[in-house]
Amino acid sequence: MIYLDYAASTPMCDEALNMYNTLNKEMFGNASSLHDAGGHAAYALDFSRQRIADMIGGQKEGVYFTTGGTESNMLAVQSILNGLPQHKKHWIMSALEHHSMYNLAALLERQGYELTIVQPDKEGRITRDNLLPYLREDTGLVSVQHANSETGLIQDLTNLSPLLRERGIVLHSDAVQTFGNIPIDVAALGVDAISISSHKVYGPKGVGAVFLRPGTPWRPVYPDTLHENGFRPGTVNVPGIAAFVAAAEMMTKQMELHQERYARLRQYFFTKIQERSIPLRLAAQENNKIERLSHILGCFFHGYEGQYVMLECNRSGVCISTGSACSAGHHEPSPALQALGASSREALQFIRISFGKTTTAGDLDVLVDILTDLTSRQERSLSR
């Protein structure tokens, strides 16, 4: 099997597996227990919290562990809105957000919050000019994804944060795709909160984190919660968290090396596509005005629905996707792709290819051969 869906999930690395096994055997106590076993687990938890804070340039007191990116998004946004003054019932998110944010929006609407969805410009950017007309006296929170999971487009949060800070508006960012892949410094970005996830960086599934800058107002979604300083209920998964940290440290140390290799693989793939005249084009065209994650290639395959292309690849032993795994099974156009100007027809022709640590040019050759065969079939069908 050739796996090219690393933006959806990654395998656990040896560093994470070793840490997970060790702590499950040696530090299995409940971190809230007062005996020595609990104390050892609490120490590991505190150490993990500090290491995550170090990796994002934040403070240990602002790190809260969760079960993953979706819960991180939902708890971060709800907790912040709960903590804002009563009149701050308006919040904003970009049209490029992850499926989990759209689900949350429906829930918050029933709770009396008003949402404005801001569209990107023609380059795919959320800019000050995009946001400014929608900022109101009752706006309490803006959420802009750091990098889109379908196209890899990276937003310039440093450009947005001063505009919001001077108005007392909290800035949250879903950094699930960027954490471990590009440097993140919460102070330099000017964000008040970010969401991150373990299984995107070769750690275990079911683990994630929220960073809330100390001083940012928030109130628990679940009242009287005791764990994670009241941020979420349930016994803390110390072995999983430590494994997450081990994986994140490995990725952070090798970040520059990985990105250089991904950029070469990206160029190699598109060179092959051009040589074979395969009707594949990027969903967000390359330009120098906006950065993107090199390992995510969101494309339209003209003439075929993305789901069919994915199934044909799977039949040949190659795993790609048709977008975010969290929206799989919902056969409808992606809001993010439509926000970038794709028609409903084009959006259904979308496929996503994403590289990982072990991806090779040979893997891409196999994929190109499959796409070449699909192109030939299409040409034969049209010539009849």
| pLDDT, tens digit (0-9, with 9 covering 90-100), for 20-36 | 999 999 989 888 888 98
203, 237, 252: which is the final residue of a domain? 252
CATH of the domain at 49: 3.40.640.10
Per-residue pLDDT tens over the stretch 184-241: 999 999 999 999 999 999 999 999 999 999 999 999 999 988 888 999 999 999 999 9
Q: What is the pLDDT of residue 38?
A: 87
Q: How far apart are CA 72 and CA 65, in angstroms?
A: 8
Q: Categorise residue 316: left if φ over 0, alpha if ψ from -120 to 50, beta otherwise.
A: alpha
Does residue 40 lie in a domain region? yes
Q: What is the pLDDT of residue 384?
A: 63
- Work out how many domains the chain is built from and give that number: 2
Task: Domain of residue 188: give its range.
Answer: 14-252
Co-location of 58 and 128 in the same domain: yes
More confident residue, 173 or 329: 173
Confidence band of 285 (pLDDT split at 50, 70, 90) = confident
Co-location of 344 and 244 in the same domain: no
Q: What is the pLDDT of residue 360?
A: 98
Per-residue pLDDT tens over the stretch 109-134: 999 999 999 999 988 999 999 999 99
How many C-beta atoms surround the C-beta of residue 187 within 10 A? 11
The 3-state DSSP class for residue 63 equals: strand
Q: What is the pLDDT of residue 328?
A: 52
Co-location of 248 and 259 in the same domain: no
Q: For helices 238-253 and 255-275, what crossing angle results, to 10°?
A: 70
204, 234, 252: which is the final residue of a domain? 252
Co-location of 112 and 57 in the same domain: yes
pTM of the model: 0.94
Q: What is the pLDDT of residue 141?
A: 98
Q: Which residues pair with 122 in a beta bridge?
A: none
Burial of 311 (0-12, 13-18, 19+ CB in 10 A): exposed
Residue 283: pLDDT over 60? yes
Does residue 383 lie in a domain region? no
CATH of the domain at 372: 3.90.1150.10
Per-residue pLDDT tens over the stretch 59-92: 999 999 999 999 999 999 999 999 999 999 999 9
More confident residue, 288 or 216: 216
227, 252, 277: which is the final residue of a domain? 252
Co-location of 294 and 247 in the same domain: no
Co-location of 37 and 150 in the same domain: yes
Co-location of 281 and 203 in the same domain: no
Co-location of 34 and 103 in the same domain: yes
Co-location of 97 and 235 in the same domain: yes
Q: What is the pLDDT of residue 176?
A: 98
Co-location of 91 and 231 in the same domain: yes
Q: Which residues pair with 116 in a beta bridge?
A: 92
Average confidence score pLDDT of the chain: 93
CA 359 to chain centre: 20
User: Who's near 127: CB < 8 A, 6+ residues apart?
Assistant: 121, 156, 159, 160
Does residue 382 lie in a domain region? no
List residues with catalytic annotation: 326
Co-location of 349 and 231 in the same domain: no
Co-location of 312 and 206 in the same domain: no
Per-residue pLDDT tens over the stretch 150-160: 999 999 999 99
